[in-house]
Structure 1
């Protein structure tokens, strides 16, 4: 009997001292053609988790990071989302990166009230569905598209534009917003062509040569657009090419080679050099991962900080006990988050960041550099 009491007492002491595990999950392409930007985002999230672990420990929580590889594929992403929903220790998700993945994933996680903060998804429908669990810290396509159109007409003085898109929710949505803004400004759009081609753009380039546009807009991702640029320049076409934040990767230069000239892209993910507050982060990133930080790392870090601070705020409001998923969801949507590299974050009623900045980057001479910035304000609806 004495032995039983001793064992029970030891178990009670062990339980009293145990830490409650709280998990942060992420969704991003960690393999395949878009792994460069997905890995940047994951690494930024990892740095935020490491930074926040002591704060969680003080409240009796063990904070764990669980990254999922969605391969930029909706089916793979939703399979991961089902695993996330089933793991009750996961109280928040950073991601997904691609709008085409974020939209179905958020729908899967919505019934379980798992809060999401995307660091990169720009399609309007990410938040227009009004899901209470879905938020993002980047500007929408209906902000980025007009910004691209404005750059085409005001800066490049283009009067005749050929638009391409990659037939994804991201690329097609962005291209359509550009087309809409251009036509509203009475600028001629000679085509808005969707293509899933990855290797041989000769037929498209032939059509571009016939049309002789002043500029080309491509709503797509760097791994596809890089090949297009290489073949376009090899065909002797020097027309400026503009795109969205899908071009925001150092891999674009590697793929395009000498074709990476006279190229511009808008991005919601600020280049590190444009954010004075990111200097320490960039040094820490370089030291930890042995490579320079890019914009997707910065915004992965910021999105993770929003989720983690939301979980802490919900825990404190819950008497320093582990919060429910619904409490975290409410804390994120209704919170104001300061001390981020990209500035203060608070969300409107559908999860859009109320104020954001778009950056126009110029690619040329083997480098990517900041061209200009465009502030964006969203409705407080």
Structure 2
């Protein structure tokens, strides 16, 4: 019996030794190289989940494609998707969790400027690099934080572009401006209002609604009274789509113009045929307009089983920008895992990045000097809409 126990004990030791030896030689990838986590933060639940999920998926696809590239640098990439619920308080809570994990060296996000601004106040405490695919509020980069960047343009471009389009292309003389009282929605609405008035247009009304509401009879009755040429809405697609639908029901013939918050297939689902003729400005056009974009969209569909929303490609490009910065930081650090500060500096130094959707060159504020703006129109109740005009954002930047 003692011999049998001795034999079993020796066998167990031998098996354990072999297993440990196998791990040391690379049998287990998790024991080789340093772990680096890259987070995406967007609304994955609630009314804006469709866009938030697409941004997450785009970011995930980019990281997955480059995983082997980083393994050669002795870096094991891990994807860490987070749900901020389009809520500033939740965003701050997520940010606090992320900065507590020293393996997190970058964030792709957020989608809502009103969430990004307070969340980035947390990221700056450890200088954690943030590359936003979609935040347009001026204050996002005007605070001068080294770690905050965006690959899209700003509301002081987006609002004026829409105003110029209304005045010149639509020959509008009067506009009624509605906003959803959020940092993003009111910010872009104010930029439109100022430009429209400065260029000789008349602002016939200016009203705020509350995000989450569904009956906009009160404000639309005011619109019907003044009969403007255009209605400009600063806000997101859940409310904007209902406004479009209810305008049609009230026989309001004013043309509807919105910002990039209206860039979603959900517009057609909510507004139906009322979406025909609707205009919006966006940083993300239909990717199928280019050969590279079509190939990417097919790859996305194969991976996730559905067509990408336009901002999915911006999640993809934002992740690749961040990974380019990470790669440079690794190489500059003697092919060792860099610090959060080193990654932040490397990301800000990026110039001439060629993505599928956009080129990226960050200026000293973290704004993309190469950003473009598109004006799209639903010529039929079908997503994505048609791009009818392309504007270089640099022409509008101060």
Q: Same fold (TM over 0.5)?
A: yes
Instruction: State the SS of the aligned residue for 1:112.
Output: coil
Alignment partners' CA distance in 2, 1:98 and 1:380: 21
Counterpart selection for 1:19 from 5, 26, 33: 33
Give the superposition deviation at 1:88: 0.6
- Alignment partner of 2:248 out of 233, 258, 274: 233
Q: 1:269, CA displacement in angstroms?
A: 1.5
Task: State the alpha-carbon separation in 2 of the partners of residues 193 and 380 from structure 1.
Answer: 27
Q: What is the aligned length?
A: 380
Query: Aligned to 1:320, which of 318, 321, 335?
Result: 335
Which of 196, 221, 232 is the matching residue for 2:236? 221
**Where in structure 2 are the equivalents of 1:86-165 lying within 5 Å?**
86-165=100-179
**Partner-residue secondary structure (3-state), 1:111:** coil
Pairs within 5 Å for 1:322-341: 322-341=337-356
Give a deviation string over 1:147-176, Cα, whole Å, max 9, x none.
000111011110010000010111000000
Quick check: 1:239–1:262 contact (8 Å CA) kept in 2? no
Change (3 A) 1:201 1:325: same
Rounded Cα–Cα distance in structure 1 between residues aligned with 2:87 and 2:290:
31
Residue in structure 1 matching 2:264, options 236, 249, 257:
249
RMSD (Å) for aligned C-alpha atoms: 2.2
Counterpart position of 2:7? none
Return the match for 2:90 from 68, 76, 79.
76
Q: What does residue 5 of structure 2 align with? A: none
d(CA) in 1 for partners of 2:151, 2:290: 16
Change (3 A) 1:357 1:274: farther
Q: Distance in 2 between matches of 1:7 and 1:177?
A: 67
Deviation string 1:180-236 (CA, Å, 9 cap, x unpaired) is: 111110210012211106211111111011111011000110011111111110111
- TM-score of the aligned structures, taking structure 2 as reference length: 0.91
CA distance in 1, matches of 2:291, 2:396: 27
Evaluate the alpha carbon distance shift between residue 129 and residue 378 of structure 1 in structure 2; reply closer, same or farther with a 3 A threshold: farther
Q: 1:351 aligns with which of 363, 366, 391?
A: 366
Query: Normalising by structure 1, what TM-score?
Result: 0.95
In the alignment, does 2:391 pair up with 1:374? yes
Unaligned runs of 5+ in 2: 1-11, 27-31
- Please point out which of 50, 60, 64 is paired with 1:50: 64
For residues 131-156 of structure 1, give each alpha carbon's deviation from its aligned partner in whole angstroms, at most 9, with x where no partner exists.
11100000100011110001110111
Moved >6 Å (runs of 4+): 6-13, 378-381
CA distance 1:140–1:42, shift in 2 (3 Å) = same
Aligned match of 1:185? 199
